[in-house]
Structure formats: C-alpha cells, structure tokens
Structure 1
Amino acid sequence: MSSKELLERVRSRTWFYEFELPDGTRTKSYLPAGVEKIHATRAQLMNQALDAAVGTDCSALTAVDLACHQGWFSMQLAKRRFKEIVGVDGRDEHLADAQLVSQALGVRGFRTLKADLEDAKAADIGLYDVTLMLGLLYHLENPVRVLRLARSVTRKTLIIETQVVPHMSGVVDWGAHTFQRHMVGAFGIIDETEETHANEAGIHGICLAPSIEALAWLLKRVGFERVERLIPPADGYEQLVGQKRVMFAAHVA
C-alpha cells in the first residue's frame, strides 16, 4: 500500500486519538470535546519525566507500551527516536490500529505483541529501558501482579497513569483486637462486567482502582527504588489536576 493510500485509510474513519499525519492533517477523534486533553497532558508529563530520567537522546534505548491501545503514546516515543518500541495489547483490533498508524507515519522500529497482561510473564514481554502503562491499571482485577510484571520488564523507568479512588487510612484489627495493622492504602472495586465488549474497558470486567497513596506504596514494594509523582500544569486535563487521576515515574535506580 502506498503512503497516500495509507493516509487515506487512516483518515477515512474516526479514532480514539487525534493523530498528527505527515501531510499536516489530523485524524478525527470520537471522544467528547475536551476529553482529548488527557492525551496532551499525559504526553507533556511523560516527556518531562523522560527528559529527566533518560535524557533527550533516546536513539540507543528501547521501550514497551503496555496496553498500547491504538498506539498514540508509542508514536510519541517514536518522536523521541527510540531504537525499538513494542506495543503490547490484549485486543487484536488495537494492535491492527497501532500497526496501521505506525506505517502511515513512517515509523520504523515499532512492532506489536498480543498479550493479556493479567496472565503474561516477563519472558513473554522482554526487558526494556522504558515502560509505559497509561490508563491500564484501573481496568485490572490483578493490579499488583501487573505492577510486578511492569517492574520485571523495566530496566530504567516506568511511566504509569491511572484513575484513582479516595484514600482510606486507619488501624484495623488483624486477627484479634489486641493485634492491629495500619492501612497504607485502598482499592475500589469497579464493575465493568457488562462493558468488556467496549474497546476502552477492561478485558475481564472486574476492576480494582487504587488510591494515590496505595499506588505510591505499591510501586516501591514491587521493586522500584525511587518513585516520583508527576504534577500536571494548572491548565492540564481536569481529572489529573483534580487528583481523580494520577501519574508517576518509577525508577529502577
């Protein structure tokens, strides 16, 4: 397929994202007006964190995009000229979309891998300098397992973003009233069991969303040595500014 035909194929439909195409046009997003700002805010925070963590020259680095969806953030990594970028997703249609976009944009060094991250092992994914996990964690029924997986496939830095629930702390009885434990965080159970057909929903339908404090604690406990919260600008996407979503950079060393 020629470059022109690829572009026409991409432009002929609506997308979750607004992709910037080589001829200066953009794809049309089916998101409600204003919601697409989440992507710009995530990308801004991601790039700032990567500038600080690995520098601006990424030509010798590799990256994996866990739950890559249609590949928009993988394409943002391509702008940084990563040597290799792997987009991982559990849905064939997402992987096909990501592959189509990468071809239309002329991105080299990008490939896709199908995997259900609830079941995948690190050996199935590989080891990469940078890992992205954006908009995934709160769609999982086994979030701690997937955080351990993310640590296992990350050589340098994980960039993670998720919806969060209100924090809960306090002391609870742990077997007897004379033996108690402190709560370090909380998870909220969200029901997506009737929405698993939707492209933006979880695959399994049972979703555990963490509090901000729970996620920060877990990132350290699964093996990241340094964890920093990425603070959005005042004019960023309202969910991130309002602390209904959160973004962290977690570093191996």
Structure 2
Amino acid sequence: MSSIREQIESFGTWITRFDVEGVESGGTYDPSSDQRVCRFIAELRMYKLQSSNGDRPLRILECGSFEGAQTAMLAQAFPHAQIIAVDVREDSIRKAKFLHSLRTITNIQYLQDDLDNPQFVFAETYDVIFCVGLLYHLRDPARFLARACAAAPFLWVWSLVCTEAEAVVSENGYRGRMLAETPDHPLSGIGSKSFIPTISSLADMLWNAGYQTIELLEKVMTTNGNGPALLLQAQRGSSSFRTT
C-alpha cells in the first residue's frame, strides 16, 4: 500500500478523487456523480441495445480525457468497446494510465494530440465522440466541430457558452467572447486564449460542420462564476442517438 501511496504522491496535485484499497485519495472531483457522463452512459446503453450493429465493438473517442476519471467510467460501462482517450498534456495521460492500472482497465487507447491542431486523431473514424469540458478551451471550436462531424456520426458535448451581453468578438461570422487561458494550469487550454461562442453561434457552428440534428439536453448556470453551460447532442443524420 505504501508504494502505491508514494506513486500517487509522485504525480503531484490531483483533481480526481479515487479510492485505493478503501482509502480515499487524489482530489475532490468525483466522476460517479457527474450527470454529464452518467447520462451519456445510460443513453449509449439503450442505443447499443436497439442498434443494428450487432456485436461489433463501439469505438468511443473522448476528447479532452484529462486524468482519465470519465474515461474509466466509459471503459467500465462498455468493457467490449474501444475507448480512445485523447489529451494534449503528457502529465494528464500519465496520471490516467496510472489510475486505470489500479482498476485493471484494459480497453483504453491513449493518444497525445492537440485538438486545436490535431495530427492524427481525426484520421480515424468512431461511433460517437464524447466531449465534456474541452470545447471552450479551443481557439477555433468551429474547425474542431467540422473535424468531429467527419469522424463520427454522433457528438455528445458539454461546454460553456457566451451570453449575448458578453458577445463583443466576431470571428468568421461567429459571435462570442475570448477566454484568457493559463497554460500552466492542468484544467486550462494550452494556448493564450480561446473562443467561447454564443448559443446561436454554437448552433451555427454545428450546422455548418455538417450536423443535421441538434438536441439541447440541458442549460445550466455554472457554480464557479464561469457563466452558462450547455449539454447537447448532435448527429449527422436524422435518427437520434438518444432513445427518449
């Protein structure tokens, strides 16, 4: 146990909370109560049961996997699926690999890539893209969404959005605001700034990317003062990923 504890401490500060042999470790974020991922798992299970794909393993791309907390939930919920977890930071991937090794999770592939300027992640295709907490850290979210739409028919995304009153920036016809990033912080983007669109501009981005059906699942006001956030699902065709 002490050697595991030493390994945990060697990674420095953690955001994710996890148990090691009954002892609580890590940070404060508990993914098991995060409805953004729990709801996704429930919907995907129903979709899988009703789909015509047979026993073909799902390919799930997680964009912005961070320390792997949500990745682990996806991998355990869908043990026969191929989970491709992508993050830009090597330290985050190292933490994720360690966390998953404690739980003997084996169906995850880890990729280090910059999703603002991806080198290889979108060279493959997937069944669904899970993107929670990443979009508003990108400098060009419209370009990311276009790549995502080409790579997978379904997108599940949670992101901050800009209020109309704060929309003082216009880029390529999209309105929003700039967010100053702090690249040294593990929860920040790696650039100096990112672009957060308004709700209407985000919808335009999705339509222009090629998504034909967009469903707003939830709109909330964040508790940390960052403003409103949306949970939505988009798909290329008219058949919904959701079953309810």
- Preserved contact between residue 66 and residue 89 of structure 1 (Cα < 8 Å): yes
The superposition leaves residues 120-165 of structure 1 with CA deviations (integer Å, 9 ceiling, x where unpaired) of 15665521112111111111111111111211221x3211111111
Distance in 2, matches of 1:187 and 1:231, equals: 20
Q: CA deviation at 1:209?
A: 0.7
- Preserved contact between residue 14 and residue 27 of structure 1 (Cα < 8 Å): no
2:192 aligns with 205
Pairing 1:229–2:203 present: no
Quick one: structure 1 residues 26 and 212, their matched pair in 2 at CA, closer, same or farther if it must change by over 3 Å?
A: farther
- Preserved contact between residue 50 and residue 56 of structure 1 (Cα < 8 Å): no
- Preserved contact between residue 113 and residue 119 of structure 2 (Cα < 8 Å): no
Q: CA deviation at 1:17?
A: 1.6
- Preserved contact between residue 165 and residue 209 of structure 1 (Cα < 8 Å): yes
1:220 aligns with 207
Distance in 2, matches of 1:131 and 1:239, equals: 26
Q: After the TM superposition, which of the residue ranges 116-125 and 200-209 deviates more from structure 2? A: 116-125
1:196 aligns with 183
The superposition leaves residues 198-244 of structure 1 with CA deviations (integer Å, 9 ceiling, x where unpaired) of 11111112110122222223212201222111227xxx88559x971
TM-score normalised by the chain length of structure 2: 0.77
Q: Look up the equivalent residue of 1:105 and give its one-letter code.
A: R
Q: CA deviation at 1:92?
A: 0.4
Secondary structure class of the residue paired with 1:27? strand
Secondary structure class of the residue paired with 1:60? coil
Distance in 2, matches of 1:55 and 1:231, equals: 24
Q: CA deviation at 1:42?
A: 1.5
Count of aligned pairs between the two proteins = 224
Secondary structure class of the residue paired with 2:65? coil
1:103 aligns with 101
Quick one: structure 1 residues 111 and 123, their matched pair in 2 at CA, closer, same or farther if it must change by over 3 Å?
A: closer
Distance in 1, matches of 2:68 and 2:50, equals: 21
TM-score normalised by the chain length of structure 1: 0.75
Distance in 2, matches of 1:149 and 1:186, equals: 20
Q: CA deviation at 1:191?
A: 1.7
Q: CA deviation at 1:249?
A: 1.2
Given candidates 140, 143, 168, the residue that maps to 1:142 is 140
The superposition leaves residues 171-221 of structure 1 with CA deviations (integer Å, 9 ceiling, x where unpaired) of xxxxxxxxxxxx8x62111122xx111111111121101222222232122
Alignment of 1:127-138 (within 5 A): 127-138=125-136
CA RMSD of aligned residues (A): 3.3
Quick one: structure 1 residues 37 and 74, their matched pair in 2 at CA, closer, same or farther if it must change by over 3 Å?
A: closer
Quick one: structure 1 residues 160 and 88, their matched pair in 2 at CA, closer, same or farther if it must change by over 3 Å?
A: same
Q: CA deviation at 1:248?
A: 0.9
1:180 aligns with none
Q: Look up the equivalent residue of 2:37 and give its one-letter code.
A: A
- Preserved contact between residue 56 and residue 80 of structure 1 (Cα < 8 Å): no
Quick one: structure 1 residues 199 and 114, their matched pair in 2 at CA, closer, same or farther if it must change by over 3 Å?
A: same
2:230 aligns with 246
- Preserved contact between residue 133 and residue 161 of structure 1 (Cα < 8 Å): yes
Distance in 2, matches of 1:99 and 1:186, equals: 38
Distance in 2, matches of 1:19 and 1:55, equals: 30
Distance in 2, matches of 1:30 and 1:109, equals: 26
% identical equivalent positions: 21
Distance in 2, matches of 1:238 and 1:167, equals: 17
Bigger Rg, which one: 1
Distance in 1, matches of 2:19 and 2:40, equals: 18
Distance in 2, matches of 1:119 and 1:15, equals: 27
Distance in 1, matches of 2:145 and 2:227, equals: 21
- Runs (5+) with no aligned partner, structure 1: 169-182
Alignment of 1:10-49 (within 5 A): 10=8, 14-19=13-18, 23-30=21-28, 40-49=34-43
Quick one: structure 1 residues 212 and 60, their matched pair in 2 at CA, closer, same or farther if it must change by over 3 Å?
A: same
